[in-house]
Structure 1
Amino acid sequence: MRGLIDEFQPDIIHCHGGRANLMGAMVRRSRSVPVITTVHSDYKLDYLGNPLKQHTFGAANAVALRFLDFYQPVADRMARTLIERGFDPERIVKIYNGMDFQKPEGPFDRAAYLKETFGASIEEGDVTCGIAARLTAVKDIATTVRGFAEALKEAPRLRLFIAGDGEDLPMLKKLCAELRVSERVTFCGWVSPVEPFFRAMDINLLSSVSETFPYSILEGVCAGCATICSDVGGMPELIDTGENGYIFSVGDHEQLARYMAKLANDPALRQSFADALYEKAARDFSRARMCERQEENYRHVLHRFRRPKDAREGIVICGAYGRGNAGDDAILKAIVQEMRELDPDRAICVMSRRPRETRLVYRTSSIYTFHVFKVLARFRRAALYINGGGSLMQDVTSNRSLWYYLYTLRAAKKHGCKVMMYGCGIGPINRPHNRRMAARTIDAYVDRITLRDENSRRELDTMGVTRPNILVSADPTIILDPAPREVVNIALEQSGIDPQGKYIGFGLRSWKGLEAALPEIAAAANYAYEKHGLTPVFVPIEFPSDLIPADRVGALLKCPFYAVRTRLPIETTIGILARMKVVAGIRLHALMFSAGQGVPVVGMSYDVKVDGFLKYIGSRTCLQLSSVRADALCALIDECVSGELSGQVRSSAALLREREQENSRGAALLLGIDRDGGKNVQSE
């Protein structure tokens, strides 16, 4: 193989499968060519049910994978699996299977096909379900059989056709006999070509324990089948449950049965699902799109591999990350998103309290925030250190956190980084010694500061900070978009909330002064329900601690209410707040997320940062938490619901998004990146 490489002189070696990975790992040691492997399936499950192969081929592949340069998992689910097992997110690029989506044309007699090919007779009105897979443990065909048997009770016209062969065949036939469904199940054996098989099916099934992005689903989509599949691989990225198909939990034959019965008894729903899924798949998962992604991945791999190993080009980001606060998590997501847009190939490292979780969620490198030696090592290789956003420069919660963040500013600058405080808030810094130390450090070691409100600018002025380039921008989270409508609908339904209802949102947190405010907030919530028909919904920003004040208010309510009791992705939380008619909040980011989506907000301020944000967007709907009264809250709710503020809210949201661009613009200048032309420019 070395001889072939020397003769052919490839730019990239691309491996597929365990044996190829082993060869690639050995060749990589002596040839300076990047080696990438496509991870088609979970390598720990590839030989499930065959201990000999599992402990020989499987073990060799698991070792070889650790010695390759880059990894190309098929779909995001497999990428998550690799990161959870310690693979570097910076060396992972995703791909999705694709195919030519051309619906088969011409007449097709499915009854004749099934009779002539498999000896199976069907009657008028029968609903055919098909699954095409190897009959092995990882495909879990037994769940399909059990689900089918259960569905027959509600949909007696169902028929099941199993295409494939394997060691589980005797077990599956025995299971059919035990469940008394043998007469309505046909084992088709190995089927080739598979296109007419899927043309003969009304519903395409998949019940695997592990997959990436199976072609059997795409082939069924192309043939016009409605689809039900297990929650594996990239299926959630293709199928929007309840919109164009159904996804059920792995091994849950009862949920599968409910979906099978529902589709079997509703021909119109089957057709609408099939049409909607075909449209999405043809648009996003075509063979042409797959080729485009592959070429993009090759370019990324070559660019990363050819960068000088000693080049100072990375970005280190520090903030209050990894603590379960949705506001801080949203800040990090926004900053990472903007840095990727500036340069998708540049390495990013995040200082986090939970590095493993951060690597998984944000697909960056990550180190523990207070592991000083690792932090300093990253500074030595980084071009830019970003401190923020959020209110890191304050001493209300802790002296030590302020001192540590100031230390990182000094250390980053001394180790050669450009230093930026990014879309942040300043203060309050109350202790005189802390104010002097913060002013000296920021003035001496920071190159650029973007602030999220005017109050922070005034605070820096009073502290005497003058040397850095200072601009007022906006909180980075303003750029984040809500999750797709169907995703938000599912999240609402899982919390027992009707997506079509009218709601007032509450974003509460425990704080000094809340005790006296609880009955006033409850009275205002009751008023919103009785006067405007708005049902209260409590949306936690820091999970689960924000549910404590939510439940305390809920106990005082006379009207129905809901609370989101699961930790959701940032985009989904934003999408839920965007559905509210008005949001009343103590949490700053509950107000920011809502205002950014054009929803009127009522603030109950516990800190200058809440006052500063609401003043910055020109809002007059703010009360001090220490003096919250029901009558004042009700008057502000009336004003928000009336529509009088709609124009102001929309213009404020547009203004925030425009001003937020100063954050990434400042980072681009420090990195020497021309955001318009894409060329390097002289950094400040």
Structure 2
Amino acid sequence: MRIMHVMGGGDVGGAKTQIMNTVTGLNRNNDVMLISFRAGPFADEARERGIDVRVIERHNPFRAARTMRDLVDAFKPDIIHCHGGRANLMGAMVRRSRQVPIVTTVHSDYRLDYLGSPLKQYTLGTANAIALRFLDFYQPVADRMARTLIERGFDPERIVKIYNGMDFDRPKGEFDRVAYLRDTYGAEIEDGDVLCGIAARLTAVKDIATTIRGFAEALKSAPQLRLFIAGDGEDEDMLKKLCDQLGVRERVTFCGWVSPVMPFFRAMDINLLSSVSETFPYSILEGVCAGCATICSDVGGMPELIDTGENGYIFPVGDDKRLAEYLVRLGNDAELRQKFADALYEKASRDFSRDKMCERQMENYHHLLARFHRPKNERESIVICGAYGRGNAGDDAILEAIVQEMRQLDPERTICVMSRRPKETRLIYRTNAIYTFNVFSVLRKFRHAALYINGGGSLMQDVTSTRSIWYYCYTLYAAKKRGCKVMMYGCGIGPINRPGNRRMAARTIDASVDRITLRDDNSRALLAEMGVTRPDIRVSADPTIILTPAPREIVNIALEQSGIDPNGKYIGFGLRNWKGLDTALPEIAAAANYAYEKHGLTPVFVPIEFPSDLMPAERVGALLHCPWHAVRTRQPIEVTIGILSRMKTVVGIRLHSLMFSAGQGVPVVGMSYDIKVDGFLKYIGSRTCLQLSSVKAEPLCRLIDECVSGALDNEVHRTAEMLRERESENVKGAAKLLNISEN
């Protein structure tokens, strides 16, 4: 591949390291040209590494752009990759006349790049912010910056992530840190001193003041701590005065600009970072390589690298009290420092090496090239419609599963979701999104879509509203009329009680739908009863079955935040407000008390829809005379599944509390309020179901006994495997309609 990298030439810090590592790694197997708009150390070092470097030293941007166009014509790159404001401006100017895809790596928050320098912020910063809007693709360093771009209106489908990487070969040979610090910085250290280091520019965005305040607080409980600050910048005098005010000046050493930085980190015990904004800082990776324990602010991709309490600590931005707490813990525990350093090195060297970064980079290039060169008039997108954007974890899980499966089927296709909260949907699922009832936008999307997916869930029903079934039927008709293939995906049908609605739904489905996959046999029987015969109908399973729980550590943190011991024994409840619940509440409470007294299972209420499901949980809780817990904050879907997977058994009214649990091999007891609950439990062969309108404590307790006894374990695990196998019918149906052969 022929790759042209474009940079300003004055890049420093993490951006400089990332660019150099990238072009060096890619140059092994590709033709790489590096354009720099400034001569100097960066260009010289790149040449020494065998990179073809061209320097354009023109202050007039129009002349510089003309020279760059000439180089593009001569080199004929497959892709142009920009880094930084000057490069982005030149890329935007070249893009107007050259049919080459242009991607920019967003190394930092462009709104904060010149924080503390108002003139540069309103000139160079504004020019960069405008230029960014005229590029083809965006490559943020880490997920948090991707979220920031989406929140600012950038197209999620034009964003691909990258993570910084470096060589993690640890320096060999003995290292005398006492001599290094004395000879280089004139610092005398004593036996027992614990050295904390931070390597960063002394500017507002790095917030070194928080480090100093936290350090000063930590000294009260860990007087052996020393702080070394490596870097220079406009805040240096202010930071020195702060040290004087806090009375810690004699324990703080300002080292100035440090190069090379590896010996500095080898001398440290703890590596610190307190920035307001970062992407994936190299100073952290360099400290990891040198063997430091790590404490950093909650910025950029740090949560993707550091598992707090497992291999390091992350503290909220600006929270010097939390920083001090973590400094004291590590400062007073050499064994913990070593444990964290070893664990983080193992993870970083495995997942964030330079080779891994270059591998991801090439994958990104191939993906972007396929997107860029797709015929403009081709019907390529997939439109997905459902009850999305309403805060229901079950519906959100359906959408996440469908999006995941469609991207696995064809990563180059764009996806658009019809949602009640399109901004939130774009941010969470990284798809395009339009408001569900913006009919004109919906019709425009249908004109360019290859496939319209209606599903999953029970959209075809008139219990909640007649208007909704009419609207969903209209979208089926409109999508087919505008040339889309139409699929109802892993859905449930009914109940449809009104005769007029049944006739209308049957006519529309028969005339407009190409394929239907259903999550239970009752739905198939209802379609047959309605006279629907033309579509290809298959029984599958709910798409959410494919979702996996969050990692154990993440689930533990979520449980702890809700005051729940991750190692406890629990019975889960998934309740919802519905007709008949009032009379059932005392019976449910009696069964929960029984589970605690007989089996030692503490009740945990796991809401599926927030905040409405908290009300029935509170009402049952008020009737309990045993300890109980509720998950009171909205959790990501994978975390909710992970919490339910920890239960010994789950008693549910909410269908997806039963589905999530059964999919993880947890025995379930259903309290049915709707045919869809009966249908699911019948489909999986479960005998543990009661009608909500007639729930009594005694039979509920018997079913809990059966689930807890282990007698159903083999059956439940077989059921989970059966559901995952049948769910594949959903993807097979979509692949057939898109003319994609599954591997």
1:581 to 637, 640, 648: 648
1:512-567 per-residue CA deviation (whole Å, 9 max, x = no partner) reads 11111111111111111111111111111001111011111111111111111111
Matched, 1:261 2:328: yes
Matched, 1:360 2:427: yes
Question: What is the alpha-carbon distance in structure 1 between the residues aligned to residue 181 and residue 77 of structure 2?
Answer: 48
Question: What is the alpha-carbon distance in structure 1 between the residues aligned to residue 639 and residue 609 of structure 2?
Answer: 14
Other-structure match for 1:680: none
Percent of matched pairs sharing the same residue: 82
Other-structure match for 2:734: 667
Aligned to 1:520, what secondary structure does the other structure show? helix
1:113 to 180, 183, 193: 180
Other-structure match for 2:667: 600
The CA RMSD over aligned residues, in Å, is 0.7
Other-structure match for 1:609: 676
1:328-369 per-residue CA deviation (whole Å, 9 max, x = no partner) reads 000000000000000111011000000110000000011111
Other-structure match for 1:371: 438
Paired residues, what number? 676
Other-structure match for 1:124: 191
The letter of the residue matching 1:621 is T
Question: What is the alpha-carbon distance in structure 2 between the residues aligned to residue 502 and residue 267 of structure 1?
Answer: 34
Question: What is the alpha-carbon distance in structure 2 between the residues aligned to residue 611 and residue 507 of structure 1?
Answer: 16
Other-structure match for 2:347: 280
The letter of the residue matching 1:209 is V
Other-structure match for 1:507: 574
Question: What is the alpha-carbon distance in structure 1 between the residues aligned to residue 354 and residue 114 of structure 2?
Answer: 28
The letter of the residue matching 2:220 is K
1:230-249 per-residue CA deviation (whole Å, 9 max, x = no partner) reads 11000000011111111110
1:395-432 per-residue CA deviation (whole Å, 9 max, x = no partner) reads 00000000000000000001000000000000000000
Other-structure match for 1:139: 206
Shift of 1:109: 1.2
Question: What is the alpha-carbon distance in structure 2 between the residues aligned to residue 627 and residue 540 of structure 1?
Answer: 22
Aligned to 1:120, what secondary structure does the other structure show? coil
The letter of the residue matching 1:402 is I
Shift of 1:598: 0.5
Matched, 1:636 2:706: no
Gaps of 5+ in 2: 1-67
Question: What is the alpha-carbon distance in structure 1 between the residues aligned to residue 488 and residue 184 of structure 2?
Answer: 69
Other-structure match for 1:23: 90
2:310 to 240, 243, 252: 243
Other-structure match for 1:456: 523
Written as runs of structure 1 = structure 2, the 5 A alignment for 1:492-531 is 492-531=559-598
Other-structure match for 1:180: 247
Question: What is the alpha-carbon distance in structure 2 between the residues aligned to residue 82 and residue 567 of structure 1?
Answer: 23
1:335 to 367, 389, 402: 402
Question: What is the alpha-carbon distance in structure 1 between the residues aligned to residue 239 and residue 390 of structure 2?
Answer: 47
Which one is further off, 642-651 or 175-184? 175-184
Matched, 1:79 2:146: yes
Aligned to 2:77, what secondary structure does the other structure show? coil
Matched, 1:404 2:471: yes
Shift of 1:40: 0.3
Aligned to 1:61, what secondary structure does the other structure show? helix
Aligned to 2:434, what secondary structure does the other structure show? strand
1:253-280 per-residue CA deviation (whole Å, 9 max, x = no partner) reads 1111111111111111111111111111
Other-structure match for 1:219: 286
Question: What is the alpha-carbon distance in structure 1 between the residues aligned to residue 556 and residue 668 of structure 2?
Answer: 22
Question: What is the alpha-carbon distance in structure 2 between the residues aligned to residue 452 and residue 605 of structure 1?
Answer: 16
Question: What is the alpha-carbon distance in structure 2 between the residues aligned to residue 620 and residue 153 of structure 1?
Answer: 62
Question: What is the alpha-carbon distance in structure 2 between the residues aligned to residue 443 and residue 650 of structure 1?
Answer: 37
Shift of 1:9: 1.3
Other-structure match for 1:570: 637
Shift of 1:51: 0.2
Other-structure match for 1:682: none
1:92-138 per-residue CA deviation (whole Å, 9 max, x = no partner) reads 01100000111122111111111111111111111111100000000
Other-structure match for 2:3: none
The letter of the residue matching 1:456 is S
Other-structure match for 1:380: 447
Other-structure match for 2:413: 346
Question: What is the alpha-carbon distance in structure 1 between the residues aligned to residue 335 and residue 640 of structure 2?
Answer: 33
Question: What is the alpha-carbon distance in structure 1 between the residues aligned to residue 245 and residue 133 of structure 2?
Answer: 45
The letter of the residue matching 1:483 is A
Other-structure match for 2:376: 309
Shift of 1:34: 0.9
The letter of the residue matching 2:741 is D
Question: What is the alpha-carbon distance in structure 1 between the residues aligned to residue 463 and residue 105 of structure 2?
Answer: 50
1:148 to 211, 215, 223: 215
Question: What is the alpha-carbon distance in structure 2 between the residues aligned to residue 125 and residue 461 of structure 1?
Answer: 80
Question: What is the alpha-carbon distance in structure 2 between the residues aligned to residue 15 and residue 52 of structure 1?
Answer: 24
The letter of the residue matching 2:135 is L
Matched, 1:32 2:32: no
Aligned to 1:276, what secondary structure does the other structure show? helix
Other-structure match for 2:387: 320
2:610 to 504, 528, 543: 543
Aligned to 2:123, what secondary structure does the other structure show? helix
Other-structure match for 2:338: 271
Aligned to 2:516, what secondary structure does the other structure show? strand
Shift of 1:143: 0.5
1:282-318 per-residue CA deviation (whole Å, 9 max, x = no partner) reads 1110000100111011111111110111101110000
2:295 to 196, 214, 228: 228
Shift of 1:2: 1.4
Q: Which runs of 4+ in 1 moved over 6 A?
A: none
Shift of 1:65: 0.5
1:155-188 per-residue CA deviation (whole Å, 9 max, x = no partner) reads 1111111100011111111111111111111111
1:602-654 per-residue CA deviation (whole Å, 9 max, x = no partner) reads 11111010111111111111111111111111111111110000001100000
Question: What is the alpha-carbon distance in structure 2 between the residues aligned to residue 264 and residue 422 of structure 1?
Answer: 55
Gaps of 5+ in 1: 677-684
Aligned to 1:387, what secondary structure does the other structure show? strand
Question: What is the alpha-carbon distance in structure 1 between the residues aligned to residue 476 and residue 340 of structure 2?
Answer: 54
Matched, 1:475 2:533: no
Other-structure match for 1:679: none
Aligned to 2:457, what secondary structure does the other structure show? strand
Question: What is the alpha-carbon distance in structure 2 between the residues aligned to residue 119 and residue 523 of structure 1?
Answer: 72
The letter of the residue matching 1:36 is V
1:566-621 per-residue CA deviation (whole Å, 9 max, x = no partner) reads 11110011001111111111100011001100111111111010111111111111
The letter of the residue matching 2:507 is R
Other-structure match for 2:599: 532
Question: What is the alpha-carbon distance in structure 2 between the residues aligned to residue 214 and residue 417 of structure 1?
Answer: 45
Question: What is the alpha-carbon distance in structure 2 between the residues aligned to residue 615 and residue 146 of structure 1?
Answer: 62
The letter of the residue matching 1:230 is S
Other-structure match for 1:210: 277
1:435-491 per-residue CA deviation (whole Å, 9 max, x = no partner) reads 011111111110000000011011111111111110100000000000001010111
Aligned to 1:430, what secondary structure does the other structure show? coil
The letter of the residue matching 1:491 is A
Aligned to 1:370, what secondary structure does the other structure show? coil
Matched, 1:160 2:231: no
Q: TM-score, normalised by structure 1?
A: 0.98
The letter of the residue matching 1:41 is S
Question: What is the alpha-carbon distance in structure 2 between the residues aligned to residue 124 and residue 497 of structure 1?
Answer: 42
Aligned to 1:557, what secondary structure does the other structure show? coil
Shift of 1:152: 1.2
